[in-house]
Structure 1
Amino acid sequence: MQTYRGKSVFGGVAVGKICVYQKGEQTVKRTKIENAEQEKARFNAAVQESIRQLGELYEKAVKEVGEANAAIFEIHQIMLEDEDYLDAVQNIIDTQKVNAEYAVAVTGDNFAQMFAAMEDEYMRGRAADVKDISERIVRVLSGGAGQGIHTDEPVIILADDLAPSETVQLEKDKVLSFVTVHGSVNSHTAILARTMSIPALIGTDVALDETVDGKFAVVDGTNGVLYVEPDEETLETMRRRQREEQEKKELLQTLKGRETVTLDGKKIRLYANIGNSKDLASVIHNDAAGIGLFRSEFLYLEKETFPTEEEQFQVYKQVAETMAGKPVIIRTLDIGADKQCDYFELKKEENPAMGCRAIRICLTRPEIFKTQLRALFRASAYGNLQIMYPMITSVWEVEAIAKIVEEVKTELTAQNLQFGDPKQGIMIETPAAVMVSRELAKKVDFFSIGTNDLTQYTLAVDRQNPELDAFYDPHHPAVLAMIRMVVENAHAEGIWAGICGELGADLSLTKEFLKMGVDELSVSPGRVLPIRKVIVESSCS
């Protein structure tokens, strides 16, 4: 038995044969050409074909992993239309009189190195994207066929790394797991893997050759271990865990339709986090009592220009109607930091996580904010829609929001447009908001604690930087003390307080949250039933 350790991307156990996935990277030769214009025409045609292919991948990804996770293919399409990139390729063709394949390969390497050298973690992540699109163009220029796994039986895929385009093309029923030598837990591929619920490891030090190809193996996605040709004891242990996990899944299904009430009678709001209306089926399937976080920024990230009031209204209305009276809490746009949107034309910032983002954009560019608020208020007439404002640090911000809201309501009334009276709350994501939460609670209807940013700002640790993983501790006593303080101050003013960050899905803290008096937990749809199981078996005392 050979044992290899990696970093877990998604838990679970997979048992089956290994299939080594070789990218089959093409050797690009430098060839002198006579007609630069003709070569540039070849390049432009290859770009258009690549954009078409990415469009097909986007449609496939939307069906399989949802619109938010498919957005990477729209980003790749946009990158293929970037003038700097296109000009660089054409300039090499013009000045060096070389073939398009070589010009694309050189440009791809140059841009990837440029991105990789940047200080911003998000921008460094774009290095892999520019390599991916460049390889796609070269493949089109060379007449190369699409890549994929061709197998008659489900397999464990072993690869150096997997680009998002490769991951989404995998036939889900033929993939038991994937294990890569490189990659990041925050990469697009890792996000897709988690959405597809495929046990996965990255950073696994294993050779990609015939010594493992076709061998029987086990992937322990929970503990980050790959066993090649496991001994009987290990195999039996893993198969037993696999059976236990399946039994747990089946047992959890019995919790559907059951109220989320503790043993001592406290009802907990157990909601789901989603990125767009395409995730509604998952919310309903997992029996969430509502939507605790609808990330409206994806409406902006998926567009090439600002979504109109009508476009937003139709989406919010659909969600409110579909949830049939259950709460739908929509967060106003949270653009900025690691979520950049070119057409916002935000200035380059040295520290974007602490820069112009979320409510700061809304209050400094009220025309954008008003458009979204008009759509939200109009949609609130069609269901139990509620509004949540992110990145609040001061009472004056809430008061400024209230003034803009009144202006919007006055405008809608003057236009004789129907609108509701939605509850309005705020996200508590900063230590400043925690410290003034008693005063803030007098101004709003509810609190939702965003533990991802709260941890980042409390510990002064960039949560996007993998080199600081050891320092990013959401269980830190200071973070937990702040959560407790927020809940106490909310209750003192008669409003409820919940958690919508990743920590809300942490089963090891569920009982502690109940003892703190947390009223609501909003988690990814797949975590609803596991959390419900803990709650109904626990008490708040």
Structure 2
Amino acid sequence: MRGLGISAGIGIGKAFIYKEPELNISKGHISDLEAEIQRLEEAISKAAGQIDDLYEMTLKKTGKKEADVFAAHRMFLEDPEYLSYIKEKIIGDRVNSEWAVREAADFYTSLFEAMEDEYMRARAADIEDVSNRLLRILSKAEQKELLQINEKTIIVAKDLAPSDTAQINKDMIAGIVTEAGGRTSHTAIMARTMNIPLVCGLKNITDIAKQNDFIIINGNTGEVIINPTKDEIAFHEKEAESIKRLQEELNKMKGQESISKDGYKVEVLGNIGTCQDVDMVMENDGEGVGLYRTEFLYMHNDRLPTEEEQFAAYKIAAEKLGKKPLIIRTLDVGGDKGIPYLNIPEEMNPFLGYRAIRFCLDMKEIFAVQLRAILRASAYGNVKIMFPMISGIEEVRRAKAMVEEVKAELRKENLDFNEDIEIGIMVEIPSVAIHSRAFAKEVDFFSIGTNDLIQYTLAVDRGNQKVGHLYNQFHPAVLSLIKMTIDNGHAEGIRVGMCGEAAGDERMIPLLLAMGLDEFSMNASQILKARHVIKNTSKEAAEGILNAVLELPTAPEVESCIDENIP
């Protein structure tokens, strides 16, 4: 069987089938509303105490960035919008707390799960975890099984909440297999931090595997073998040693420059969603942040974040990075990123509609507040501004004019900022790639957002299972647009980076090197592997392959050519 390899390594051990205690939530009518609200408040207080304990335990066991998961859980537990939703259900519908919490959890998880951005989708698991904690307390359900594991074990589960992962004894866990989960979930992050192999996306694995089955998992390839032969065990034990040696080799990449075998220097940066994520980028020796997704600040609020709140977050990130670049993308809302309090109307085609820079240029007061916060933070580090969803040069000029207006305000108020702050755009719409020579005259840098560029070029919604197979970064048209953008950017003397998922793809990196890409920005966990690929690739040799690739008519032929010619 094969799932999605999330955390590298080979795990070998007996299966422990983990199933959360069943929470049979039934709807009940409440006559004493005051007593029911009191019961809810007591459950919230107890949940807060448990989360605080998990924070302290995780802080000691794995470190602050993993513990911050539970700081975020605490914030969500106290979120006024979440709590108001629950209380309004109890009072308005006269229902029991359990039913109201379940309704709130379903509402907020569906909101996040509908988003295209993988990082944002993963936050649904945090909401579910907090809500389930409340439900267990209200229902008096116990959850102690994971704490009792005392032998080398492969945990097999539908999913693991961050609080589950935090409680496991990493010395006793050889690996984890789940039916759900993704690369950016907190469980994935914690598994990688604890060096526990993790495979996700194996449908019905909790029914297929039986308690105490012998299991092998490969967190690199996603392969899972139940009750393997002696030969398979011997092979994977050797493979585990090889992977261990490779990880040791990757760790040697820390402190080194990202330079190809023939001397072509690039930069490998990380993508982040919060200022705390900078820690993971630094731990993996990233050369800066190529994408700060600022919408996270807006989505975890029941109101617009203030200038001071935004400034504080951007400032923390800038100070942590020092002289390293911090590219802050302005608010990219709309499409799959709905924020209820912004009251963006429903649209037939939200990905082609009122979103990102279109929203910001229309809602100038909201945009100005963010620009003020970013500019003020630029006094504390190497901050750059990047505009998303640009389709025409007029938008660039209007956005730059807004920056100049805000600069003038800050000067009058004697507030510090970088007068020469660089301004760039996301190249994620074909019109910009095709017309990129003209756009390059208007900005200081490009960052190619391949996720949307592929979607718009191929007219494929990658979240639609019926057509998802057509979404392919190796499509010749996509490669041509990427090369065109890089060539045109360089012709006008500006740097060209990439912050889409393709930037961290091992098979894609040699092609991007051959095209002359200057910056690769990716999930922090991919940084060292990308640097390893770059250092073992000859740009000149890759250029020969690129010329052949660009003549091919289909994506499968492109992929075959890469596999045959790039080791």
TM-score, length of structure 1 as denominator length: 0.85
The Cα of 1:238 is off from its aligned counterpart by 1.2
Aligned match of 1:97? none
**AA matched with 1:140:** I
Q: How far did residue 422 of structure 1 move?
A: 1.2
Match of 2:243 in 1: 245
1:178 to 169, 176, 179: 176
1:253 Cα deviation from its structure 2 partner = 2.4
Q: CA deviation at 1:223?
A: 3.4
The answer to whether the 8 Å contact 1:109/1:131 transfers is no
- 3-state secondary structure, aligned to 1:149: helix
2:435 is matched with 436
Match of 2:9 among 9, 12, 21: 12
Give the deviation of 1:414 after TM superposition.
1.2
Cα–Cα, structure 1 residues 387 and 66, in superposed 2: closer, same or farther, change >3 Å?
farther
Q: Give the alignment of 1:358-373 within 5 angstroms.
A: 358-373=356-371
Question: Hey, what's the Cα distance between the residues in 2 that align with 1:248 and 1:462?
Answer: 36
Give the unaligned 5+ runs of structure 1.
Answer: 95-99
The residue aligned with 2:64 is 63
Tell whether the 8 Å contact from 1:337 to 1:352 is kept in structure 2 after alignment. Answer: yes
2:503 paired with 1:507: no
Question: Which residue is 2:139 aligned to?
Answer: 142
- Conservation of the 8 A alpha-carbon contact between 2:180 and 2:200: no
Contact 1:55/1:74 (8 A) holds in 2: no
Give the Cα separation in 1 of the matches to 2:67 and 2:299. 14
Deviations 1:352-383 (A, max 9, x none): 32333222222111222222222222222233
Structure 1 equivalent of residue 343 of structure 2: 345
Deviations 1:167-186 (A, max 9, x none): 45545554332223x42547
Name 2:421's counterpart in structure 1: 422
The Cα of 1:34 is off from its aligned counterpart by: 7.0
Q: Are 1:463 and 2:465 matched, yes or no?
A: no
1:517 matched to 2:511: no
User: Paired residue for 2:252?
Assistant: 254
The answer for the alignment partner of 2:19 in structure 1 is 22
**Equivalent AA in structure 1 for residue 535 of structure 2:** V
- Distance across 2 between alignment mates of 1:86 and 1:174: 42
Q: CA RMSD in A?
A: 3.7
CA distance in 1, matches of 2:227, 2:267: 46
SS in 1 for 2:309: helix
Q: Deviations over 1:185-227 (max 9, x none)?
A: 4784675567656412323444549x73233321123333322
| Aligned-partner SS, 1:255 | coil
TM-score (norm: length of structure 2): 0.81
Q: CA deviation at 1:308?
A: 2.6
CA contact (8 A) 1:269 1:521 kept: yes
Shift of 1:290: 2.1
Three-state SS of the structure 2 residue aligned to 1:81 is: helix
2:282 counterpart (284, 292, 297): 284
Aligned CA distance change for structure 1 residues 49 and 462 (closer, same or farther; 3 Å): farther
Structure-2 change in CA distance of 1:340 and 1:174 (3 Å): farther
Classify the secondary structure of the residue corresponding to 1:42.
helix
- 1:32, distance to aligned residue in structure 2 (A): 8.2
Q: CA deviation at 1:305?
A: 3.0
Label 1:334 to 1:110 Cα distance change in 2 as closer, same or farther (>3 A). Answer: closer
CA distance in 1, matches of 2:78, 2:288: 34
In 2: Cα distance, 1:68 partner to 1:50 partner: 15
Kindly indicate whether residue 488 of structure 2 is the aligned counterpart of residue 489 of structure 1: yes
- Give the letter for the 2:425 counterpart: I
- Which moved further from structure 2: 81-90 or 404-413? 81-90
Mean Cα deviation higher: 367-376 or 257-266: 257-266
Asked if the contact 1:121–1:464 (Cα under 8 Å) also holds between the matched residues in 2, the reply is no
Equivalent residue pairs, number: 529
* 1:223–1:484 distance in 2 versus 1, CA, 3 Å: same
What residue identity is the alignment partner of 1:306? L
1:67–1:370: structure 2 CA closer, same or farther, 3 Å change rule?
Answer: farther
Cα shift readout 1:495-528 (whole Å, capped 9, x = no counterpart): 1111111100111111111111111111222322
AA aligned to 2:176 is F
